[in-house]
Structures are given as C-alpha cells and as structure tokens.
C-alpha cells in the first residue's frame, strides 16, 4: 500500500489551475473533461488515504519507540500536504458554482424577454449544458467537503 501524497498534491494543484481558468468564464469541453478526470483521480487517491490512514496510525502507535514519533508534526504535515490544498479547491469550486448559477439566472432572463425562437433554442441548450456542469461541480464539491471532514478527524 502506497499513499502518494505528491500525486494528490499534483492533482490538487492541476485542478486549482483549471478551476481558476474556469472562473474567468473560459468553460470549454476540453477543460471540463480535464477537471472531471482530475477529480476522479483525486477522489480515488483520497479514498485510499482515508482507507489506509487509520491502519497507518495504529501501526505507528504500536511501535515500541513511540516517543520517537512526533504526532503533532505528522498531523501538521498531513494538513499542509492535503487539507490546505483541498480547502483551496473547495473555495474555487464555490466561486465557480456561484458564477455558473449567476449565468443561469441571466440565461433565464434572456429566455423570458426574447421573442426570437432560434435564440431561445440556443439559450435552452446553453442552459442545459450549464446545469450539467453545475451538477457535476456540486457532486465534486460535496466529495471534497467529505474528504476535508474526514481529514479533520
């Protein structure tokens, strides 16, 4: 069992960069696919961490030379490596969700005032795509929040 903190940190940093680009309203299919792929990998890594971390802590507690191990330092390191970047991702996700929800409101207003059926059709497609992205981001934000709470234990 190998817990790759560096891999998680790299995924978190990549996701942060992509989400920051997305805040500037540069949503594109390629960026969406990339961020979803990164989240899927990140979720898998964090699930493994949460699965093996209690076993690792127990093994460390069982070591005879326990006084040689500094749990405060270990917990501090763990939070610095994983928890802080996850909180940054959560913040960026929240900002992106707000922007997308605002965009959805604008689309709905445009649909209400438009008389052009072609324009309404395009707006409805945009609205549908926007809703798909919002739902996916909410799902990932919930996962990140769950992992943050697990790591805070």
pLDDT digits (tens, 9 = 90+) for 86-96: 888 888 888 88
Domains, the chain, with CATH or none:
5-151 (1.20.58)
The whole-chain average pLDDT of the chain stands at 77
DSSP symbol at 69: S
Burial class (CB in 10 A: 0-12, 13-18, 19+), 86: buried
Higher per-residue pLDDT: 28 or 97: 97
**Contact yes or no for 127/108 (Cβ under 8 A):** yes
**Contact yes or no for 52/1 (Cβ under 8 A):** yes
pLDDT score recorded for residue 8: 66
Q: How far is CA 99 from the centre of its chain?
A: 16
Query: 4-13, 49-58, 128-137: which has the highest mean pLDDT?
Result: 128-137
Question: DSSP labels for 78-121?
Answer: HIIIIIHHHHHHHHHHHHHHHHHHHHHHHHHHHHHH---HHHHH
pLDDT in tens, 34-86: 777 777 777 777 677 667 767 766 776 676 566 666 767 777 777 777 788 88
Alpha carbons 100 and 136: distance in angstroms, whole number: 12
pLDDT score recorded for residue 1: 42
């Amino acid at each position: 069992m190998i817990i790759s903190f560096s891999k998680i940190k790299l995924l978190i940093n990549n996701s942060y960069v992509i989400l920051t680009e997305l805040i500037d309203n540069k949503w594109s299919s390629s960026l969406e696919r990339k961020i979803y792929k990164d989240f899927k990998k990140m979720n898998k890594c964090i699930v493994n961490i949460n699965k093996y971390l209690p076993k690792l802590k127990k093994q460390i507690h069982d070591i005879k030379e326990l006084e040689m191990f500094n749990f405060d330092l270990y917990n501090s390191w763990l939070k610095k490596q994983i928890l802080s970047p996850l909180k940054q991702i959560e913040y960026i996700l929240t900002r992106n969700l707000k922007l997308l929800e605002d965009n959805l409101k604008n689309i709905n207003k445009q649909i209400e005032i438009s008389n052009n059926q072609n324009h309404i059709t395009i707006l409805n497609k945009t609205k549908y795509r926007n809703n798909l992205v919002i739902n996916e981001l909410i799902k990932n934000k919930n996962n990140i929040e769950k992992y943050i709470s697990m790591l805070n234990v």
